[in-house]
Amino acid sequence: MNILQINSSARSSGSESTRMGDKLVAGLVAANAGASVVRRDLASEPHPVIDEATLGALFTPADQRSPAQAARVALDDALIAQLQAADVIVIGAPMYNFGITSQLKTWFDAIARAGVTFRYGANGPEGLLTGKKVYVNLSRGGVHRNGASDSQVPHLSTFLGFLGMTDVTFLYSEGLGMGPDAVAQAQADADAQIAAVLA
């Protein structure tokens, strides 16, 4: 089993979504002899955002790219290769202002590549990253699960499904901004959810 762990919190320590990811990955490794783990922290290893130069590089045929363009595309290629090699993807997705972090959005922009991770055919879009299990660890200051204020889950489900990743489990730690008792309860609830998926 090849596990890819994506941490997208801006925090270098004390991130609940990262804590959840670490706990889940540790359980997966313990249950699967020989499992390998690749971890990418999008805050400590920031990926460049899409800009005009990036678009120019991506839309220039590979054999016509300048050295700078080739180097820029290679950065995205490396993220795509990690994802293609993974059997299980564990994503930490804290809620910032009702959405995903800019770090996670930048990773999404890098891995969505026409003809590589998805393609358009006669029947519309087809995701090419099939056969993978995805776990998304959602941490929120408030309580949004199954509510109108939860814009994360629809967005994440749509994006991951577009790339062919339809086997997605969402794990929740909510109410983290509501005081120490709420934090303790949120973490206990999250740990119970993790234990359930590992059972």
Band of pLDDT at residue 12, cut at 50, 70 and 90: confident
Band of pLDDT at residue 150, cut at 50, 70 and 90: very high
Chain-centroid distance of CA 89 in Å reads: 7
Instruction: Kindly state the tokens that stand for 160.
Output: 């991951």
The average confidence (pLDDT) of the chain is 96
Reduced to 3 states, what is the DSSP secondary structure of residue 60? coil
What is the CATH classification number for the domain harbouring 40? 3.40.50.360
| Mean pLDDT along residues 119-137 | 95
pLDDT of residue 161: 97
Q: How many CA atoms lie within 13 A of 105 on its CB side?
A: 11
What domain range is 104 assigned to? 2-198
| Mean pLDDT along residues 50-55 | 95
Instruction: Kindly state the tokens that stand for 85.
Output: 């090699």
CB neighbour list of residue 48: distance below 8 Å, 6 or more residues apart: 54, 72, 75, 106
**Number of structural domains in the chain:** 1
| Mean pLDDT along residues 61-72 | 96
Report the alpha-carbon distance of residue 103 to residue 178 in Å, rounded: 25
